[in-house]
Amino acid sequence: MAAAAISNRQLFIDGEWRKPILGKRIPVINPATEESIGDIPAATAEDVELAVEAARRALTRNKGKDWSRAPGAVRAKYLRAIGAKITEKKSDLAKLESLDCGKPLDEAAWDMDDVAGCFEYYADLAEALDGKQRSQVSLPMETFKCHILREPIGVVGLITPWNYPLLMAAWKVAPALAAGCTAILKPSELSSMTCLELAAVCEEVGIPAGVLNVLTGLGPEAGAPLASHPHVDKIAFTGSTDTGRKIMTAAAQVVKPVTLELGGKSPIIVFDDVEIDKAFANIFWLNGDCWIISDKKLLNGHFLGAFGQMVRSAVQHLAFWCIIDACCLKLYMPRPFQDPIKDSDSTEENISGEFLRKLVIWAQNIKVSDPFEEGCRLGPVVSEGQYEKIKKIISTAKSQGATILYGGGRPQHLGKGYFVEPTIITDVETSMQIWREEVFGPVLCVKTFKTEEEAIELANDTHYGLGGAVISKDPERCNRISEEIQAGIVWINCSQPCFCQAPWGGNKRSGFGRELGEWGLDNYLSIKQVTEYVSDDAWGWYQSPSKL
Ligand code: NAD
């Protein structure tokens, strides 16, 4: 499937595969080899116009009875069928995802399970919506009756990033369709191939024409006209804070609601009451059999994937930790710390020294390779642009006085491809770019603290507010810190578990709105109030005191 998909796909509009009106295509580069392996269609405003018309027709066809006003149970059948097809095609889809964005094949396969699970979960919620579509509101006057209707918002534009290409799309497409919306999905131009396959899956399960349209293309050419289109009723966006700002500005011109899942810089606070190996396992999300650091033994497990660009971000498999920040993870530990290399034989070492030493061993043992190689735990970053950006941020940190404790460059054994070594940076000042800005690469900054208050202050000294984690044996401290951290998601003694049932989203410049869970469905529903006067008496003029 992979080869055919790369060469043949067109835009998916109104249930058909259509060439972009201007005939443009974008090359697909395998980030592990830097070779062009095909191309994807490049939509422009002309194609957006067609897709919006198709989505609007699908919304209102047969007075909405075919989709938007059909029972949720009808939509649930399609969502379940999509989930089942994703599972059936899991292996091919995972390969395509790895080829396109560079994430290790194991991680991509894991993502496909999550994608299928997300469609199944929202199938259940679509069915449950039937019982909640209309609910009574009690009023203080018997002469009035009131109920609310939960209605689909309408035509929605869904714009997604490159780090979890199909999963980020599923987080939006599944709840949007469950709610009865019709949608136009615009995936990242850097990793669109599995989203085109999602369109093929929709075609196979016979979803009504126009319900889901997939437009691949560049942000300014395809994303921007979608965000500003007057007949698109809402935009749900995941991506960088800079792009989020542009989308919000465009949407504001037509007073269009947006939800924004933006960048992050997520702190992990580790206290000295923990057993280091266990803390390590929890932070980096190593599974039972993949405990860390037994000398030269490789860590296994998700963590590694995480440390990758990818995402599970920022550590993505720190993942889902960071889905968040997919980027640069900040780690705080009690001070003082010692040079982990110099003091490696010291018996007086403290947690930070020991932790750092193990961190370095762990990083050394991460298998960085082509994502298809057995045991790969860190693939290339997605593109040359991202590769150059990460290198520049690391070299700026160095020139500003930070210490590159491990990594920082291209792995010696890999001459081609956008590979970056897992990188650990210490001696970081809070004013440095590496501490303040999202890197979105396999880069971990480490800083120490003396008191809980200082740790909290450091953790909150950021414009971002996506996620955070605290690792400690003291439950009261964990609870205190979970309340103090200014972020949309806090993990206690773990990192990155991500459940369809729980809300996902950030505060501050990490955005607003929540995906997943019932909150994810609410993103695509509009609440209508219906109030009826049920008395034969005239309502009359305003009389004080008000009875309302
Ligand atoms: P990006 O902002 O560059 O692009 C995201 C999407 O926006 C792409 O589809 C792109 O084509 C489109 N786009 C670009 N310019 C546009 C414009 N002017 N108008 C409309 N659309 C436009 O982000 P990226 O590099 O693809 O993804 C990485 C970012 O995503 C990181 O900042 C990361 O933190 C963030 N992210 C956040 C979460 C979260 O849960 N909050 C999850 C994953 C990724």
Residue for token digits 């319900």? 211
The residue type found at 367 is: K
Q: Is the pLDDT of residue 340 over 80?
A: no
Mean pLDDT over 148-161 rounds to: 98
| The pLDDT value given to residue 361 | 87
| The pLDDT value given to residue 77 | 98
Mean pLDDT over 356-368 rounds to: 86
Burial of 367 (0-12, 13-18, 19+ CB in 10 A): middle
Which atom of ligand 1 approaches the CA of 227 most closely? 20
Residue for token digits 């050419």? 221
Whether the bond between 187 and the residue before it is cis, its omega within 30 degrees of 0, is no
Mean pLDDT over 437-466 rounds to: 90
- ipTM field: 0.99
451 alpha carbon – ligand 1 mean position (Å): 36
Helices in 238-383 by DSSP H: which ranges? 241-253, 276-283, 302-307, 351-364
The structure's pTM equals 0.91
Q: Is the pLDDT of residue 306 over 60?
A: no
Mean pLDDT of the chain: 86
**pLDDT per residue over 506-531, tens digit each?**
999 999 999 999 999 999 999 999 99
Q: Is the pLDDT of residue 323 over 90?
A: no
User: Does an H or E element contain 122, and which?
Assistant: helix 105-132
Q: Is the pLDDT of residue 316 over 70?
A: no
User: Does an H or E element contain 391, and which?
Assistant: helix 384-399
261 alpha carbon – ligand 1 mean position (Å): 9
Instruction: For ligand 1, atom 39, name the residue with the nearest CA.
Output: 261
CB atoms < 10 A from the CB of 117, how many? 18
**pLDDT per residue over 92-115, tens digit each?**
999 999 999 999 999 999 999 999
Burial of 445 (0-12, 13-18, 19+ CB in 10 A): buried
**pLDDT per residue over 22-41, tens digit each?**
999 999 999 999 999 999 99
More confident residue, 537 or 145: 145
More confident residue, 496 or 422: 422
CA–CA dist 41, 19 (Å, integer) = 7
Ligand 1 pocket, Cβ-based, cut-off 6 angstroms: 159-163, 168, 186-189, 219-220, 223-224, 227, 238-240, 243, 246-247, 261-264, 323-327, 438, 440, 466, 506, 510
Which atom of ligand 1 approaches the CA of 515 most closely? 40
Instruction: For ligand 1, atom 9, name the residue with the nearest CA.
Output: 188
81 alpha carbon – ligand 1 mean position (Å): 29
Instruction: For ligand 1, atom 23, name the residue with the nearest CA.
Output: 239
* pLDDT classification of 307: cutoffs 50, 70, 90: very low
Helices in 189-288 by DSSP H: which ranges? 193-204, 224-228, 241-253, 276-283
Determine phi and psi for 208, rounding to 5 degrees. -55, 145
163 alpha carbon – ligand 1 mean position (Å): 9
Q: Is the pLDDT of residue 319 over 50?
A: no
* pLDDT classification of 324: cutoffs 50, 70, 90: very low
Which atom of ligand 1 approaches the CA of 224 most closely? 19
CA–CA dist 507, 418 (Å, integer) = 32
Instruction: For ligand 1, atom 36, name the residue with the nearest CA.
Output: 239
Assess contact for 251 and 223: CB atoms under 8 A: no
CB atoms < 10 A from the CB of 87, how many? 16
Q: Is the pLDDT of residue 388 over 50?
A: yes
Q: Is the pLDDT of residue 127 over 50?
A: yes
- Ligand 1 pocket: which of 48, 118, 240, 383 to mutate (most atoms within 8 A of CB): 240
Burial of 198 (0-12, 13-18, 19+ CB in 10 A): buried
161 alpha carbon – ligand 1 mean position (Å): 4
Report the C-alpha dihedral over residues 440, 444, 445, 447, rounded to 10 degrees.
140
428 alpha carbon – ligand 1 mean position (Å): 27
| The pLDDT value given to residue 344 | 41
Q: Is the pLDDT of residue 371 over 90?
A: yes
| The pLDDT value given to residue 345 | 40
* pLDDT classification of 266: cutoffs 50, 70, 90: confident
Structure tokens at 416: 């081609």
More confident residue, 290 or 67: 67
**pLDDT per residue over 232-253, tens digit each?**
999 999 999 999 999 999 999 9
242 alpha carbon – ligand 1 mean position (Å): 8
Instruction: For ligand 1, atom 8, name the residue with the nearest CA.
Output: 188
Q: Is the pLDDT of residue 59 over 60?
A: yes
Assess contact for 299 and 293: CB atoms under 8 A: yes
Which atom of ligand 1 approaches the CA of 218 most closely? 11
| The pLDDT value given to residue 349 | 40
In this structure, are strands 329-334 and 443-449 parallel, antiparallel, or unpaired?
parallel
- Ligand 1 pocket: which of 238, 318, 514, 515 to mutate (most atoms within 8 A of CB): 238
| The pLDDT value given to residue 292 | 23
Nearest to 234 by CA among 192, 184, 195, 188: 184
Q: What is the percent of the chain with per-residue pLDDT over 70, rounded to a whole number? A: 85
Q: Is the pLDDT of residue 282 over 90?
A: no
Catalytic residues: 261
Instruction: For ligand 1, atom 34, name the residue with the nearest CA.
Output: 263
DSSP class per residue in 453-512 = HHHHHHHH-SSEESEEEEE-S-HHHHHHHHHHS-SSEEEES------TTS-B--EETTEE
Which atom of ligand 1 approaches the CA of 510 most closely? 41
* pLDDT classification of 269: cutoffs 50, 70, 90: confident
Which atom of ligand 1 approaches the CA of 314 most closely? 34
Q: Of 124-128, 201-205, 334-338, 375-379, where does mean pLDDT reach its minimum?
A: 334-338
